[in-house]
Each structure stands twice: as C-alpha cells, then as structure tokens.
Structure 1
Amino acid sequence: MPLQDVTVSISVAYPAPRIGLGRPVIFTQKTGASSYEEYSTLDALKTDYIETTATYKKAAAIFAQPNRPDIVAVATYDASIGAALAEFYNRPWHFALIANDLEADQVAAAGFINDKDFKFVAVQVKDDAGREAVKDKKRTLVFDHNITDEHLDAATIGNLASLPVGSITWKFKGVVGITPRYLNDTEIAAIDTDNAIAYVVKAGKAQLSEGKLSNGEYIDVIHGQDWVKADMENEVQHALSQADKLPYDHRGINAIEAAATTTLQRGFSNGIIASTADGLPDFTITALDRNQVDPADRVNREYHGLSFEFGNAGAIHEARIKGSIRI
C-alpha cells in the first residue's frame, strides 16, 4: 500500500504558503549520529549552536528578515551530506542551506537535488570556480557573495521563500543585513552567464541581480510548480478522506475535479497562473468519465483520468523603451 494516495505530475512545455513551502533547513556537519531539529527562535537555536558557529550565522541571517519563516530546521551529518539529504528529505522543509559553504558538500547537495523533482538547495560561492562547480544544476540557487560573515543565501531564503508562492519574482528584491556590491559590467555579465545571483546596486537600490536557478529556469516558476503539486495533492486527499466514500462514477469524479479546480483557481489568485485577455484564469482541466477509463483502474480503485494545463504568469524582468524628441 503506498504511503501517498494522491500524486500530481507536472511537465513544463517550452516555450510557454502552504506552510512548509518556504521553510529552510540548514545542513550542518557534526560528529556523531545524524539529527533533525526545528527552531522557532534564534535564542532556541543558540542553545545548541553558539554564536561563533556557521549554523548560528546562517540562522541569524534568516531570522533577521522581515518575512522570515515560522521555523528554521537544522539537520546534522557526520560524513555524507548526501546521506543526510536522503534521510531527511521527507521532513517539512523546502529550501536546503549548507552551513560550511564547502564546495564538496555543495556539489553533493546540488547533485542530490538535481535528481529530484521537488524542493531546492541554495549555496553561496565566492568566485568563478565556485559557480562553475554547481553550474547547470536543476533546483539549485547559486549566490555569488564574497563578503566575510555575510550569508546572502540564508538572507534571501529567509526573506523571500515564505512569501505567498507566485506573488513575487525573486529579481529586484532586497534583504536585511547584506552589503550590496558595486560590480562592473564584466563582473555582472559573468555571474549572469552562470545563472548565479549577486546582491548589487541598480538605479541606486540594493537588490538581487537575477531570479534564476543554476540551470537557467526561473525560481518563481519552479516554486509555483511545487506549490500546485502540493496544494492539489492536499485538496484531492481531503476530498477522498472527508467523504464516506467517493463512488467511481460522475459523483466521485466531479468531486476530484472540483478539488483540482480549487487549486488552479487559487494558483491564479496567487499569481502563478496567467490571465487571458478577458481576465479569466488561463487553465483547462479535463476529467474522463467512468466509461472512458481503463476497466483495470476501476477494479483497482485508481482514477487516472484527470489532467490539466495552465499558462505560466511569469514576470517582466527587463524593458526596452524607445522615445523621440520633436524639434
């Protein structure tokens, strides 16, 4: 019997919070058996990790943000961060951070998350070689910041990840406690080419230089995909568990379709799903009736007949404007 009764799969066609969907976990190397603890305040975390530790400093950058999450988790590992990621993958976190900023652990974590289709890892690097080591990885956020004892990765996750998914693009946003850098065109072009993110001054304002993952996909798009998956699984699971039973006919199928539609409508309200020209949500949903599904699925009480697609709302990151002067 599967532990999960409802599974949503989403494929992205080109071109074209739930609590926990912004929660961070800090993976920390520590001698002994691995562990996982959650902290709601920095003072509580301080009892286990003193102020001089990298774990405390990452957590302090998270808790300093105005949009900080309700909980910061810490997962420990002795030798293998990959083993710890596998052990604690199903805990209620969505963004992983790495306390020691060591390249070997960053590469291992990025490789692990690259093979998943849910959650993220954020790493902070100091130079071109650091960016190159984790380049082109799915679901990896790479922050280029070389100022000692400043944690742009933790500050950004702390300030942006727990905002309503779909409501923001990550580019242009500010964070607390991080020094913006004045980079020249060559420097910022190199960072952009590697799909990394710096904290820079543009138009007189401190802001994130981009909002992309290491493989070039936009953070808000993939985070929105995760939200739709999680929210729809919850809605359909609720429909299944709240009813005495859902008959395998139009009544049960309509209930599942209604639950899925609720998620898509909410996704539109949050800013994940685009609007049509007449202001309507840009999604379609299709539910096969009882006679259209495989009889074997009816025997096994499995319904595979629901499908949907939606237009991604995206965001505008650049503008090119022309003007003229009359003499």
Structure 2
Amino acid sequence: MLIPKITDVYVSIDITHPQISKDLKKIAIFTKGDQQSFKTYTYLPDVMADFDENTETYKTAEAIFSQDDAPEAIQIITYADKVPAPVIQSNTSNAGTTVVDNNASNTSQPSAGIGRAAFDYFYEDWEIAILADYNKADALALADVLENGGYDGKGFHFMFQQFGPSNAGDGADFDKYSRTWKFYHSAEDEKYTAALASEGTSDDAGKVSWKFVHDLNGITPEKLTATELLNLKRQHFITYVQKADHASQIDDSNAQGLFVDFIHGLDFVKATVESNLQNALTLDGKQVFSYTQKGLNAIKVNIETTLDKAGNQGIIDIDSTGKYKRHVDVPDIDKIHASTVSHRILQGVKFEYTSSSAINEVHINGNAVA
C-alpha cells in the first residue's frame, strides 16, 4: 500500500540492525462515526461540542488535555463504514460530468473504514495514533496502514494500543508490527495510552526516554504479583507501575525490539530532511541548486545541517570526539550520466546515522565490609 505524497524530495530510510538503541508530536484519536473527517481541537470544551462527555472519544481527549505537559492541540480522525463521496470529474466525451470513484479500481487503497481514513489523512499533522474504542479488526487495519503506508512503503506514524483483562488475548496478533506498542492496564476505564502520549510528547522527538515518562494524571499504577508482571513482559506488554517515589513504564520497546524514541526519531529525520530540502529547492531554486558540483554540494550541506539538528535533539549518537555519527554521500557531478542531468533528477544521494540510546537499567554490585 503506497500512499502518494506531493513533494519533490523523497527520503527512504532503511533500518540497519543491530540497533544501539512538522514537530511530529501531535496525537490523533481515531473514532468511528457516520462520516469520515479530520479535525483539530485546541481545547477540551471544543471536543464536547462534537462528542458527548460520556463517549470514549471525549474521555480519551480529556486524558490527553489533563496532563501537566499536555499538547496545544489534538487531532480527531473519524472513520466510517460508508465510502467517502467519489470525485466528480469532467467527461470529455460528452462535455458533461461523471462521478468516478478512483478507489474502486485501486485494490491497494482501503475503500472505507479506519484504513481509508488513515490513508486519506496520512500526511496531515499527526504522529501517534490511538483508538477511542477498541475493535480488533479496526486496530489491526490501522496498524497495517501505519506499518506499510507512505510513498515508499516503509511506514510513518506509530500506534499505542491499550489492552486490559477483557482483550489481552488479542495482543499476540499485534506482535508483528514494528510501529505498534502494546500497553496493559487493568483499570480499563482509564486512558493510559492517551495520558502517556500526552506527557511523552512534551519535549522534542528524540529527547524522551519513554520508559521514564512518569506520574501520569488520572492513571493508577498497577499492583501486580511477580508472576503477573513476568507474564506481561513475556507477551511484550508495557504497563505502568510504581518505582521508588514515581510511577512509570516497565519498558518502552515492542515485540520487534524497537524503542519508541527510535521510531519517533526516524520519522523526525525523514520528515525534516524532506521538508528542509523541499523548502530550500523552492525558495533558492537554480541560483543555489544548479545541476553542477556547487549545487550537489548545497544538497549535501542541507542534509548535514538537518542531521545535526536531529543530533541536537538526541536522535543521533556522538563519537569520542563529540561529533555526530552521521554521513552524507552525494554523487560527484562527473559520475552522473548526461541523460540524468537533462531530466533534472538527482539519484544516489545517501545518508546514514547511528541512533542514540539511553540507560534503561542499572546493575550494581556492592560490597559491605563488616
């Protein structure tokens, strides 16, 4: 499922294992309704105008806005079983108009439901997906789009899915997704994932170790036996427990062994390299980006500057000299075929970086002398 994007800059990032470890901070609440829509809300009372306070959508929004470091805005994406209205196009054969549903002939594009909404609003301003009401089929459909969507088929966004005693048995079906994290919370009326997403996005992508996002308002720490805790960890569930004076997560990696901050940083790098270079191409044009060695060098400098910004946010690791572990490779002008130059397309630009890590556990051996 390739979701097209209007851009002149295409960044595709492959994840190389093993792993050392827009603002892309907005949360999207997916909720089922009569008609597909996308809307931004900056205050909780605005949500109430569209969703009654007894709805799970309102309660999810309330959990987000109730945190100490809540975001300035949230997005609510409504999905529907009804197919959105088809496009009206001109019919050149009879000079009239004809109703065409382009999606009917595109089998890779969802025709309706949560998959269609995620497809249609894929490049809007949101990063973390949360379902207001759990439905296994809908949750899996959303996870599929986030895993394989985007113009390069490498995904974008990520999903926090909350489970409890009533649906924990579904959890194993989500283990194949690298962009989905499973959370277990026994108090199913509490919106744990919404609160966590709210507090965790209080700082820039890359600066947060999600395991230690702590003291969530309105969320009760679990009281689990050692056996229960081990069983949850074996099933790749993350849960919220009291540790010393503060409550936080037992972990922040999913079944694929990927940490939230790594994927969040990956999306930041991809989106920021694209947007910065697109803006530079648009504003500076041929004066800076001529198809010469000078223009190629400008491409390289633009990407390096963006990667350094990612490094400043804690996304990229540093070496022993304090330099960021990143490398940008742009082809030499003498090695580019004339036909490629004539078509004004630059290929073969590559960059790589080493993701930063965080200390999640500390093991200390002490010795007491009598």
Asked if TM exceeds 0.5, the reply is yes
**Post-superposition offset of 1:162:** 4.7
- Matched residue type, 1:99: A
Give the superposed CA RMSD.
1.8
If the length of structure 1 is used for normalisation, what is the TM-score? 0.93
2:31 is the counterpart of 1:28 = yes
Q: Work out which of the two has the higher radius of gyration on C-alpha atoms and give 1 or 2.
A: 2
Check whether the contact 2:42–2:73 (CA below 8 A) recurs between aligned residues: yes
Name the amino acid aligned to 2:14: S
Secondary structure, counterpart of 2:211 in structure 1: coil
Distance apart, 1:198 and its partner CA: 0.6
Match of 1:247 among 268, 274, 290: 290
Matched, 1:98 2:141: no
Note if 1:43 corresponds to 2:45. Answer: yes
CA contact (8 A) 2:314 2:356 kept: yes
Contact 1:136/1:216, CA 8 A, preserved across alignment: no
What fraction of aligned residue pairs are identical, expressed as a percent? 31
Q: Aligned partners of 2:171, 2:135: CA distance in 1, in Å?
A: 12
Q: 2:68 aligns with which of 53, 66, 87?
A: 66
Q: Secondary structure at the match of 2:46?
A: helix
Change (3 A) 1:321 1:2: closer
Query: Judging changes above 3 Å, is the alpha-carbon distance between structure 1 residues 258 and 221 closer, same or farther for their aligned structure 2 residues?
Result: same
1:248-282 CA deviation, whole Å, 9 max, x = no partner? 01221121111101111111111011111121111
TM-score (norm 2): 0.83
Matches of 2:267 and 2:359 in 1, distance apart? 21
SS in 1 for 2:210: coil
- Report if aligned partners of 1:73, 1:93 keep a CA contact under 8 Å in 2: yes
Alignment of 1:151-300 (within 5 A): 151-174=191-214, 175-245=216-286, 246-300=289-343
Q: Matches of 2:217 and 2:275 in 1, distance apart?
A: 34
Aligned partner of residue 47 in structure 1, secondary structure: helix
Inter-partner Cα distance in structure 2 for 1:134 and 1:261: 36
| Equivalent position of 2:157 in the other structure | 119
Greater Cα shift, 279-288 or 258-267: 279-288
SS in 1 for 2:298: helix
The match for 1:13 is 16
How many Å separate the matches in 2 of 1:67 and 1:11? 33
Q: Is the 1:27–1:97 contact (alpha carbons within 8 Å) kept by the matching residues of 2?
A: yes
Matching of residue 132 in structure 1 with residue 134 in structure 2:
no
Moved more, 187-196 or 6-15: 187-196
Q: In the alignment, which of 110, 113, 119 is matched to residue 86 of structure 1?
A: 119
How far apart are the structure 2 equivalents of 1:37 and 1:256?
A: 36
Secondary structure at the aligned position of 1:171 is classed as: helix
Rounded Cα–Cα distance in structure 2 between residues aligned with 1:2 and 1:291: 31
The aligned amino acid for 2:159 is V
Matched, 1:149 2:223: no
8 A contact 1:139–1:214 mirrored in 2? no
Partner of 2:106: none
In the alignment, the residues of structure 2 paired with residue 272 and residue 108 of structure 1 have an alpha-carbon distance, to the nearest angstrom, of 29
Aligned residues of 1:235 and 1:263 also touching (Cα < 8 A): yes
Aligned to 2:87: none
1:56 and 2:58 correspond: yes
Q: Kindly provide the CA deviation profile for residues 94-123 of structure 1, in whole angstroms up to 9, marking residues without a partner as x.
A: 111111122232222222222232111221
Matched residue of 1:222: which SS? helix
Deviations 1:46-72 (A, max 9, x none): 111111010000000111122222221
| CA distance in structure 1 between the partners assigned to 2:285 and 2:265 by the alignment | 32
How many residues of Structure 1 are paired with residues of Structure 2 in the alignment? 324
Rounded to whole Å, the distance in 1 between the matches of 2:18 and 2:248 is: 28
> Partners in 1 of 2:10 and 2:328 — Cα distance?
16
Runs of 4+ off more than 4 Å: none
TM-superposed CA distance for 1:90, in Å, is: 2.2
